[in-house]
Amino acid sequence: MDPLPVALRGHSFVNFKVGEYNRDAYEACTSFAKNFARIKDGKGLLLFGKSGAGKTHLACAVVNVLKEKYSVAFTYVPALMEEIRVRPNWLEKYLNVDLLVLDDLGTQRESDWALEKLLIIIDGRLNNYKPTIFTTNYDLLDLEHRVGMRQASMILGNNHQVLVGGPDWRTIHLSS
Ligand SMILES: Nc1ncnc2c1ncn2[C@@H]1O[C@H](COP(=O)(O)OP(=O)(O)OP(=O)(O)O)[C@@H](O)[C@H]1O
Ligand SMILES: [Mg+2]
């Protein structure tokens, strides 16, 4: 089964427009996908930047490259919490997949319960050298307040921080 929700399956590197403002992010993501087999330390990506800049698009483009060969899960963080609440044994899946994408980290203020589950996932994957891609539109200095101190410290310390710059692609047509 495709790990991506239907509306996100079409996001690829080919239809991602590259400019000066997002070239570094594009290159970090293509290189991550290309070198995935050689990642030994579990270092993933933390894609950050303003809303509509293309963070989810890039994360999906990586998934589309890797999904045939590797086990991949893509999840919207609030939905993940709800899923684990209803089916606690699904936690295993998120710990074990080769690549996990946690989209929209810190979108809502999580409960202590949810933050503890998040910590278990982040910590468990790091201990097994399994990379994770995080996306967030929060300022990295704010992340600690959104997801907890230890969670933020682990995420910031163990992933490549990649700024996705550029316009809000959702509203760009409004200004032209
Ligand atoms: N460089 C780009 N080239 C083409 N389309 C883009 C590009 N960047 C973003 N888009 C498109 O703009 C829309 C919004 O992008 P996306 O969902 O990736 O934003 P986001 O950074 O994840 O925003 P949010 O923080 O609100 O989740 C999507 O339809 C995406 O395909
Ligand atoms: Mg997004």
Is 173 part of any domain?
no
Q: Can you tell me the mean pLDDT for 142-160? A: 94
Q: How many domains is the chain built from?
A: 1
For residue 57, is it within any domain? Answer: yes
Query: For residue 39, what are the domain limits?
Result: 20-166
pLDDT digits (tens, 9 = 90+) for 79-115: 888 888 899 898 999 999 999 999 999 886 678 888 9
Best mutation site among 8, 12, 56, 143 for ligand 1, i.e. most ligand atoms within 8 A of its Cβ? Answer: 56
pLDDT at position 49: 96
- Whether residue 172 is contained in a domain is answered as no
Q: Is residue 157 part of a domain?
A: yes
Among 57, 63, 134, 174, which is best to mutate for testing ligand 1, by the most ligand atoms less than 8 A from CB? 57
Residue 138 within a domain: yes
Please state the pTM of the whole predicted model. Answer: 0.96
175 alpha carbon to ligand 1 midpoint, in Å? 16
Q: With respect to residue 6, please indicate whether it lies within any of the assigned structural domains.
A: no
Ligand 2 is an ion; residues with CB less than 5 A from it: 56
User: Is residue 121 domain-resident?
Assistant: yes
Whether 175 has a pLDDT exceeding 90, the answer reads: no
CATH number, position 59: 3.40.50.300
Tallying the residues shown for the chain, one arrives at 176
Residue nearest to atom 18 of ligand 1 (CA): 54
Q: Is residue 175 part of a domain?
A: no
pLDDT at 162: 98
Which positions ≥6 away from 43 have C-beta within 8 Å? 131, 158, 159, 160
Q: 56: CA distance to ligand 1 center in Å?
A: 6
